Structure 1
Amino acid sequence: MSDRDRKPQFKRGGGKPFGKGPSRRPAWRDREADPDGPAILYGWHTVTMALANPERQIRKLLVTENAARRLSEENIDTRVAPEMVRPSQIDQRLGPDAVHQGLLAEADPLPSGDIETLEPEGMVLVLDQITDPHNVGAIMRSAAAFAVKAIVTTARHSPEATGVLAKVASGALELVPLVMVQNLARALTALNERGFLTVGLDSQGAQDLGAVALRQPLALVLGAEGKGLRQLTRETCRVVARLDMPGEIKSLNVSNAAVLALYVGATKLGLMS
């Protein structure tokens, strides 16, 4: 089945409810952003996954004639009356290099989850001030592929869940819950107390990740591009491990490191079968 033929389906964190009720926090957005401003979603997978997510409130939907025809052919419920536009009108909103495929939605940001409502099972990812939206989007897509239960990040020094990040994530924003925290060390402490094995990834780690006795629930902690894990983050993790490479280049881009770590984790936890 091709991506074109696949119908969007809504599923979050392995299909289990996450962060329901009054404890849910404000949406995951950059500290400087307008908290009432919409998330800008564009591209086929990004927008159709948002349309399939009952938790995502759509404010406005811009569609081209070709995109409207495809939505109709695939019986996708737009939930709001779409506004027909020319492709150039979406280009003006996003820039000529954005691959929007004739779809742009303005939507309410999804609300953040809470550490206390996170089930102690499977894997979660923790991001220590990773700021590049391309990297965060790619990490989210990998997280969705490996059925990660949640991504924990800081309220500050993190990109908005909109625009480029949402496009690169290719619908993963609707699949992997985000937990926004004010203090990452306290969040890691809370995960430790809830039984998670917190494993920081660092080139100076004492042992290779493949040699660590991993167990569920597992929290893999990734550091910022170029800087790695902050000292307090390293000290709060139960284990600090490295990813050994056989080639001359010993370090990976953080999004590539994330997918490799997730594969190692999922394999050792028996989640690949």
Structure 2
Amino acid sequence: MHYFRSLFNFRPLLNTALIATAVSLTACSSSPTGRQQVLLFSSQDMSQLGAQSFEQLKEHETINHDQKTNQYVQCVTKALTSKLNPSSGFSQWEVVVFDSKQVNAFALPGGKIGVYTGLLEVATNQDQLATVIGHEISHVLAQHSNERLSRSQLANVGLQLSSMAISGTDYHDVTMAGLGLGMQYGVLMPYGRAQESESDIVGLRLMAEAGFNPNESVSLWQNMAKAAGGSQPPELLSTHPSHSTRIDDLRAEIGRLPSNNAIRPQCLL
């Protein structure tokens, strides 16, 4: 099967000098926390890629149609996305619940959100679910997929200066990995540690602004640690922050959050 035929067109690896020149010609950007990023692709290209990937996931994954479950996930998501600036281009989000034991969720460029039912066994209330969905939305807001795909192109497959587009089956796995999706559908790949930590902070601010209890983010990661059953690798061997580091960072950020009078959402499962 041919994927993303019109979106991407990779060339062979260019030499180091040409790549350095290309980066210098590419507009650098700053993430929501002020971290410098190199983004080679347009928002339109990333949105198209995200939408195509999401459609393929829906074809390969089992979609949950339970009305109560879907209303619950939609309620939490809507409370979060309602706080996003409409001018940011993130006003419309499609949310799909997948039947899977995976304790995970994801968000893709183009306003696509997937939540696995296994997550609802660990995120035991609306605030904990908002922690995860807010975190995933923050990956999109911070353009982490664009950043990772840009790094992959520069490091592994070269750069075509005339058009930032990728096509052909040879690089399907690279593009899926750039979006945070594994080589097989439904297998989610972690972002880098800096990106994960950044999404924790941005997501925490978003959930607090939406009226969710930010203290439940700590409870969520405590639940995650229990669910992992001690199977998490040492922090230096993992792209994710360790559970203890993550919790410490969240507690520190909670102490810096401004007072908020937002109406508390009422999302019940």
Quick check: which one's helix share is greater? 2
Which has the higher relative contact order, 1 or 2, with Cα contacts under 8 A spaced 6 or more apart?
A: 2
Decide: shared fold, TM above 0.5: no
Point out the structure with the larger strand share: 1
TM-score normalised by structure 2 residue count: 0.29
